[in-house]
Structure 1
């Protein structure tokens, strides 16, 4: 009964009051802004005009904390996996560079029980996947084999072998892999290259649809990898819109298809100068991932751009997620964004715009066809250029880089890795989608002056 003494205030009354307070300034020009996706964001949302039921449900909020391990030395990688599982990691992503590595041996020597193991293969081999599938039947944790020839095409410019052979291999794997989750749609390159959110949603749908068209009778789980940027509420809505749109797409093929979303922070807004700010960026991006409904979250280290993998950076990135889970209770509420008019509204608009662009891609031959023609690359480049211009003009701010930089900050002595776009001229089927950070040109100028 507490609120019965208060009269309800309509959205029209709010607008009238705001217009009065503006003292003649135009409401739309002053307070309504437009995102890079063409979405006009209002200063307030009200249930008499903005209540939206998107129908998306993230259900399980108990996200898994994932730690990435590149398998260079097999025994050291296994030892590291057992150690990080003791120290808070719940799942492990092993990056397997070649089929010479004994993948079955790696998963069999895990002494700690993970929630899941993700095996990211940097090659395509049906026999290796079949061996993992046989072994997975004996294990008590989930096994995901991350295979995505279309991502290989977008990132590298070529398929693993060629389009025909790669999809024949996928169909072979589909018939013999009942114990594992093996099909992956890795969309991180789109975001890291500068695609806007509508494009990311549309390309995720088109990417998935290529597989559903080319793999016969597929009716299993699909792992979707998503990169999360710094636009907090928009990123929550983006993940919700991706799941909503993918569920709608799956209904056209099989009711058994489900989606497992792995989210990780983007590289696009990370910097080498004032690098500790990267911890703040990755924290809010991980928060967006959890609230958006990611099933698993893999953080990146604050120094990942310029340092080789190290224990301190890994520990900090893992502890960021542990704090969100164990001290901030981010795993205790299902569907935490439900009923937030702003997020619901953004989810609906992003999903609708993404679906519209997806239909246009399909009408014009599908994702692979448009990659070969160069249309996708051109569209991403246009979106990236707009964002870059905002950064260059100071309208998009990266603290410590294009705003409040510390001139005493020196980095040339501390670069173990090359943090900029690498050149590798070679013959490719398509022009690769190039991942590039916003701060690269500015950082190169500063390094040159040190």
Structure 2
């Protein structure tokens, strides 16, 4: 950062700055300006080169890509949306797939255009995935199969532990550039895990696959993160993850640049705040970009209106990874990495992520932090504009065609599922009751 300084200003030490601050505080203790976060990270009023330590973090060489979500309901309609998205400049497309579809119809006239094809499946069919792989064998493809993520989110395997892992083995083709696996770290964020927990669980999650398949599978994994509204912490979160994943891979005698996909968090979105949701999604996407993700997209959640069109970012932001050498971001990154590594080591000592999911430890830790955040929201210490501060007085929830608070049918699970939950839900439920 020395290039930002000029010879017009004499350099000052950290001690001199601290002394000046205490003088301006009329003798009050400097510690009154320190802030402690839910992660146990202390934020200082200033950061200085005197106590600055930089981590060597591998960052992507290529520019980030903007991804457009496409929910496949009717094949011909999906194909039209794909063609239009490509015309608008999309370089990555993510298909939300709830059942098998006519592959030839969906991908008609859209191949060989240097587009990344991403998938998010609600089912796991090795036969269907093999057909897709054959159709897209000359394309860049991310199948995002995450059997552990499905267990964490739903409480069950697709079939069983042994059968799911066996099915994974049948679809692997090591000599292709296709990414078959995914680590759905967004599950943890959307359910209330703090940034340190998210990084630790993402690494432990990936380590289950590395332990099973070996270090060679590292370049077949795409990591999916949800990005919250704590702007600088979210930048640091992605950087800390990249640092730790590189550290873990050394144990497997391999070195891979992790592929990271990011989208805005669901947790802080509101039903009546469509415009504020767009603003939050914009800053969250910027955090992801500055943190060094490979692909970024707005999420497909439709609370009332469509959210931010991610292509706007491509046209207007011109964003680059400028977080390197920022004293504040680098310091937070180091603290997140250190604390996440401690959690990761504890998880591994207790038998790994799968074992802690079975015992309910991961679920309990996330719930504890989620309850802490919920209390902060309820008391106004955690502010969501349009919800618990300056609420939208003009919208009405009773105009919604579907009650967003209806719960699905209960079913038997092997473990307690990790369920996403928005902070504003109870507040919105109360408002709906008052409108009735």
Give the TM-score of the pair, scaled to structure 1.
Answer: 0.91
Is the partner of 1:262 in helix, strand or coil? strand
Distance 1:103 1:180, change over 3 A: farther
* Cα offsets for 1:134-172 (capped at 9, x unmatched): 3333x3x41111100011101111011011110111122
Q: How does 1:185-264 map to 2 (within 5 A)?
A: 185-216=183-214, 218-255=217-254, 257-264=256-263
Gaps of 5+ in 2: none
User: Corresponding residue for 2:120?
Assistant: 120
Q: How does 1:19-418 map to 2 (within 5 A)?
A: 19-29=22-32, 31-49=33-51, 51-60=52-61, 62-99=63-100, 101-103=101-103, 105-110=105-110, 113-137=113-137, 139=138, 141-175=139-173, 178-216=176-214, 218-255=217-254, 257-300=256-299, 304-307=302-305, 313=306, 316-322=308-314, 326-330=315-319, 333=320, 335-413=321-399, 415-418=400-403
C-alpha distance in 1 between matches for 2:158 and 2:76: 27
Q: 1:176 Cα deviation (Å)?
A: 6.4
Is 1:16 equivalent to 2:19 in the alignment? yes
Is the partner of 2:90 in helix, strand or coil? coil
* Cα offsets for 1:182-213 (capped at 9, x unmatched): 11111111000000111101100110000111
Give the TM-score of the pair, scaled to structure 2.
Answer: 0.93
Q: 1:69 Cα deviation (Å)?
A: 0.9
**Contact kept in structure 1, 2:60 and 2:294, CA below 8 Å:** no
Q: 1:26 Cα deviation (Å)?
A: 2.3
**Contact kept in structure 1, 2:60 and 2:293, CA below 8 Å:** no
**Contact kept in structure 1, 2:79 and 2:105, CA below 8 Å:** no
* Cα offsets for 1:67-100 (capped at 9, x unmatched): 111111111111111112212322110122123x
**Contact kept in structure 1, 2:268 and 2:423, CA below 8 Å:** yes
Gaps of 5+ in 1: 308-312
Is the partner of 1:183 in helix, strand or coil? strand
For the aligned residue pairs, the C-alpha RMSD in angstroms reads: 2.1
C-alpha distance in 2 between matches for 1:277 and 1:362: 40
Is the partner of 1:65 in helix, strand or coil? strand
Is 1:430 equivalent to 2:415 in the alignment? yes
**Count of matched residue pairs:** 431
**Contact kept in structure 1, 2:210 and 2:218, CA below 8 Å:** no
